[in-house]
Amino acid sequence: MDIDVTQSSEVTVVAPKGDLDMAAADQVKRTLTGLIGQGQSRLVMDLGGVGYIDSSGMGVLVASMKQARAAGGDVRLCGLQEDVRAIFEMTRLIKAMSVHPTRQEALASWR
Amino acid sequence: MTRPAAKGTFSMTSEAGELVRLRKWLREELEGHGVPRPDQSNLLLAVGELCNNSIQHAYEGQSGKPIRVSVRSSDEALTIEVEDFGKPFDAEQYEAPNLEAVPDHGYGLFLVKTIADNLSVDIARERGTRWTIVKYRPGRGPAVGTKDGVSRS
């Protein structure tokens, strides 16, 4: 899976492209854990390029959110496609995580 | 008029890299069975989760082991079976996730149960587990509110 990582002021934007399934979950986990370990715990996860997510992918996002929050930051989500959003609703993660329609709004939430 | 019971089958091995191929096949299969678009996405997820379980739990991460998926349909419902030949599913070990606690694991079977109109598991076999998902066609099936958990055989 391609994962684009960019810095925007004090916030790091992570934008994976492809299916966030069991095959990709470890790669995303390593990326997020690595960033948080380097002190970059203010994260925006842009899921606009993710058309499919399963429980492995969601587990990585939740674990990273908890790790980031423990370090004083957060993992904030944006760009959820309809199918992906539906799964966040089923699992109620839509309420537990900070979810924004667009990357701009997710970045603005950090200001 | 009764729709003929068509059946398609798919075989994969127990590697996460096979899941893309599975989804491609299943999407085309569901399209061919006239499954509405939102149900297609949900069923792709449910079947993917059962295959994840086979890879992680039944085969405990061993690659090269067989997993079979079959789809058949009627006017009433779509029936999907996912079968492996590894360690049988142990219902005693299963604990539904406490969503209020926002766990970072354990969503897989919860999602399958949420998506399926009926879910059953057959472990009374020589080896492995066969899951059966039933999804009724819109306006068919038992009255709303009668859906229950996993039935075992």
Give the domain ranges of chain A: 2-108
Please report residues of B whose CB lies closer than 8 A to that of A81.
none
Judge: A52–B45 Cβ closer than 8 Å, yes or no: yes
Find out whether B14 and B55 touch, Cβ atoms under 8 Å: yes
A54 reaches B (C-beta below 8 A): yes
Torsions phi, psi for B43 (to 5 deg)? -70, -35
Subunit contact A55:B41, Cβ cutoff 8 A: no
Pick the CATH number of A2-108 from 3.90.950.20, 2.30.30.100, 3.40.50.720, 3.30.750.24: 3.30.750.24
Inter-chain residue contact A59 with B105, CB threshold 8 Å: yes
Residue B83 contacts residue B12 (beta carbons within 8 Å): no
Q: Which residue of B has its CA nearest to A93?
A: B102
For residue A85, the cross-strand partners are none
Tell me the C-alpha distance between A75 and A33, whole Å: 11
Global pTM value: 0.92
What is the C-alpha R_g of chain B?
15
Choose the closest CB to A59 out of B45, B48, B104: B104
A90 interfaces chain B, CB cutoff of 8 Å: yes
Question: Which pLDDT score, from 0 to 100, does residue A38 have?
Answer: 96
Amino acid at A62: V
Cβ-based burial of A84 (10 A; exposed 0-12, middle 13-18, buried ≥19): buried
CB distance B41–A86 less than 8 Å? yes
Is residue A94 scored above 90 in pLDDT?
yes
Out of B16, B44, B49, the one facing A23 most closely (by C-beta) is B16
Residues from chain A contacting residue B107 (CB–CB below 8 Å) = 55, 58-59, 91
Q: Stretch A51-79: mean pLDDT, rounded?
A: 98
Under 8 Å between Cβ of B6 and B51? no
pLDDT at position B1 is 45
Q: Hey, are the CB atoms on B102 and A22 less than 8 Å from each other?
A: no
Contacts with A59 from chain B: Cβ below 8 Å: 104-105, 107
pLDDT 10s digits, A1-60: 999 999 988 999 999 999 999 999 999 999 999 999 999 999 999 999 999 999 999 999
DSSP-based three-state secondary structure for A71: coil
Q: What pLDDT does residue B6 have?
A: 54
Q: Which of A32, A52, A54, A88 to mutate to test the interface with B (most CBs of B within 10 A)?
A: A54
β-bridge mates for residue B72, sequence order: B7, B79
CA angle B99, A32, A76 (to 5 degrees): 55
Q: How far apart are the first and last CA of chain A?
A: 30
Which residues of chain B, if any, have pLDDT below 50?
Answer: 1-2, 4
Q: What is the model's pLDDT at position A105?
A: 98
Give Cα separations from A44 to A29, B99, B139 (angstroms).
14, 23, 41
